[in-house]
Structure 1
């Protein structure tokens, strides 16, 4: 079984669209990335074509060139002996007139269990707001032992995603 053929690792699929489930660490950050329709459209293109992940420093191998429900993606972090490879599956896509985004969940073999949502909103005041919402917990014994490092790494990549758009 290849990395991208594996099942999801958590039962609360789609929960980033509502109340986050108990038993996980929660993350919710947002930032105004600009104003106006052109900013919204450019950011949506970067988000839904995996460019944001690449700009954040990850290597991306996706089963589809654009985000769509069921897309699977292998993300690689680091280099050489310190490289980590993990898979995720897009569990839903947001495509409204003034909102774009998606959520993906962890596949078996990912060091964590959970889901992360990336959503752009072009608000009535013309602000374009990028929100990242996630719930996660260590999926391996070694990650539980390295929890402080794992939290810092997640915070680092969250900042990188925010800056990438």
Structure 2
């Protein structure tokens, strides 16, 4: 990774205390209700729909080699713990692209609102629980910013609603992104694209 605070998007106080020199961001949308909606959204998320439908091109998607890496897991306070699930068989989408899995590396290429979104990334952790599915992507290199993105689909037991949440922190790397407001502008555009991608018809912003 090209940053120190690996897993910090899981910290409950990310927005108040982001990693040094980074800009935090968080947004949530209600994307429907019920188990079917949850399952559909979860499969879309784990097959890279948020990135692809956001206009970003995936390439060189490589699952972790061997069968020992299960990624980092975190408790409700954001502290790292032992992985919560055993490794499962690698899945692939209709085009033969590996689904999201711990340790997977990939390259993204594209632009968001005229700003570069190219990067080399690694999947830091994956969550697959009965009512929550998600994963964390961290930068390895080749990006105008360094940092992390956390994508979660939650099926809430109390309301039956399904919510999509994205959290991130970015520290500028390119000189352009040291200018005031550039990191936030890039992040706002990416968030809007991710959220529309997962639920282009039903999403309701909060």
- 1:4 alignment partner in structure 2: none
Unaligned runs of 5+ in 1: 1-7
Distance apart, 1:118 and its partner CA: 0.3
> Alpha-carbon deviation of 1:22?
3.4
Q: Is the 8 A contact 2:47 2:99 kept in 1?
A: yes
Deviation at 1:109, TM superposition (A): 1.9
Aligned twin of 2:128: 95
Q: Write the deviation string for residues 84-109 of structure 1: whole angstroms up to 9, x where unpaired.
A: 53111100111111000100111122
Cα 1:86–1:22, aligned 2, differ >3 Å: closer, same or farther? closer
1:50 aligns with 2:66: no
Residue aligning to 2:149:
116
Aligned residue number for residue 32 of structure 1: 30
CA distance in 2, matches of 1:155, 1:163: 12
Q: Which structure would you say has the larger Rg?
A: 2
Distance in 2 between residues matched to 1:59 and 1:140, nearest whole Å: 21
Q: CA RMSD in A?
A: 1.8
Alpha carbons 2:137, 2:148 under 8 Å: kept: yes
Greater share of residues in helix? 1
* 2:186 equivalent to 1:153: yes
Instruction: Return the offset for 1:157.
Output: 1.4
Matched residues in 2 for 1:26 and 1:164: separation? 21
- Cα distance in 1 between the residues matched to 2:54 and 2:129: 25
Matched with 2:161 is 127
- TM-score w.r.t. structure 1 length? 0.86
**What corresponds to 2:101 in structure 1?**
68
CA distance in 1, matches of 2:41, 2:182: 30
TM-fit CA distance, 1:70: 0.6
| Normalised TM-score (structure 2) | 0.70
- Give the C-alpha shift of residue 132 in structure 1: 0.5
User: After the TM superposition, which parts of structure 1 deviate over 3 Å for at least 4 consecutive aligned residues?
Assistant: none
Q: Over residues 116-162 of structure 1, what are the superposed CA-to-partner deviations in whole Å (9 max), with x where a residue is unaligned?
A: 100000001110001101111102323213x5344222201101111
